[in-house]
């Protein structure tokens, strides 16, 4: 069996990226712990992208009944108009974006207003540098 070295390299880079990310806490409550990776923040004018992860205190289920403990998402923010959208996300069988991917979606979502006091609002503040 021949192993594609490029494919192996990509997988290793993705795994290392998740393990090596400098996840900082953004919001926590009895059900979830939300963290962001400041090293992933990229800015182009008023638009910022960032990776975040949500750890759940108890397993959740996908629509096809697969259990997951975390969700890792690539988010985009319009820091002036206070909008956000998810660019892609995956659900994982273990915490902090580790374990088996049980669901993945690479379709970008629609822009939505960011509400203060929500998870989206806290991530927005982190990404856009608000206090």
CA 107 to chain centre: 14
**Does the pLDDT at position 123 exceed 50?**
yes
The single residue listed with the structure tokens 């659900």 is 91
Residue 47 near residue 77 (C-beta atoms within 8 A): yes
Look at strands 47-61 and 67-78 and give their pairing.
antiparallel
pLDDT in tens, 59-97: 999 999 999 999 999 999 999 999 999 999 999 999 999
What is the spatial distance between Cα 130 and Cα 12, in angstroms, rounded to a whole number?
Answer: 34
Which DSSP category does 81 fall into?
T
52, 25 contact by CB (below 8 A): no
The string of pLDDT tens digits covering residues 14-60 is 444 445 589 999 999 999 999 999 999 999 999 999 999 999 999 99
Indicate if the pLDDT at residue 130 is higher than 90.
no
pTM, two decimal places: 0.82
What letter does residue 127 receive in the DSSP assignment?
H
């Amino acid at each position: 069996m021949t192993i594609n070295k490029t494919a192996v390299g990509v997988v290793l880079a993705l795994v290392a990226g998740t393990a090596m990310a400098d996840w900082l806490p953004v919001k926590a409550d009895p059900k979830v712990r939300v963290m962001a990776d400041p090293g992933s923040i990229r800015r182009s004018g008023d638009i910022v992208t960032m990776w975040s992860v949500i750890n759940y205190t108890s397993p959740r289920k996908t629509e096809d009944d697969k259990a997951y403990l975390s969700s890792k998402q690539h988010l985009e923010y319009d820091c002036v108009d206070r909008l956000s959208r998810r660019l892609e996300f995956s659900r994982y069988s273990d915490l902090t974006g580790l374990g088996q991917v049980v669901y993945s979606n690479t379709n970008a979502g629609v822009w939505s207003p960011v509400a203060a006091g929500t998870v989206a609002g806290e991530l927005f503040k982190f990404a856009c540098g608000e206090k």
